[in-house]
Structure 1
Amino acid sequence: MGFMDEMGSLVGQSGEMGDRAKVAGGLMEALGQHPGGIQGVIDSFRQNGMEQHVNAWGSGEQQTATPEQVQQGLGGTGLIERTAQNAGVSPEVVQMAMATILPMVIRHFAPGGQVAPQGEGQFGGMAQQLLSRFL
């Protein structure tokens, strides 16, 4: 299953957006404005003692995180709060949804825990496609 298919599966079968779909769209928007983009997120996780998780997500070994791991990894970056604002949901909902979404994003755009030089460019195009599906 491709990245767009995985993200698209977050939309409920009735066609209505669930919280995870809202958060996915809000995250894509927030990551476009986040210092360092995806690499900035990865760096934050590493600086906050979560390097083993980033490496596991990048290799596909670990498919999800916990909301607590998301909070620890992103603590102080403002990404959770910006995503919540963009998505129109609470920061707690963002943390819960990011536990599924963030490992997916890292697996697809930072295999092995490193963003490929073309990864950021691909991300921008994918983000636009994703946002057009959800918004």
Structure 2
Amino acid sequence: MDSLTIPATGRTPGVSFDFAGGHLRMTGESYPDDVAGFFGPVFDALRGYLARTDGAPIHFNMELLYFNSSSAKALMNIFQMLETVAKTGRPVTLTWCVEENDEAMRELGEDFAEDLRHVVFRMREIPASGDP
């Protein structure tokens, strides 16, 4: 599998995983009615990709504007998978994109970052939605 693409909906994030290039991205909002149903295929594809032993760098851009507590647990599972592979020496960078002045999302990113010892965590500010 070279990629996984799931279009965003009003309640689920867009998923764009380019496994061949090592670029993973989630965008939008995440509060699906069926968290396990949505994230199950994402976890499966990510596990398969991370099991590869090529050691190529992984770049994960997290561009969520909002997520609920159930999605937060799913995100933590994803971050733990990345941490596990980074622990083996595979370079992993997680870029947490936060809208300017969104302190709540900034703090959530910082909270996730505290659990990451081997993943390089970067905070990137982006213009607020609706801004030119």
Please give the TM-score of this superposition, normalised by the length of structure 2.
0.24
| More helix as a share of residues | 1
Structure with higher RCO (Cα < 8 A, 6+ apart): 1
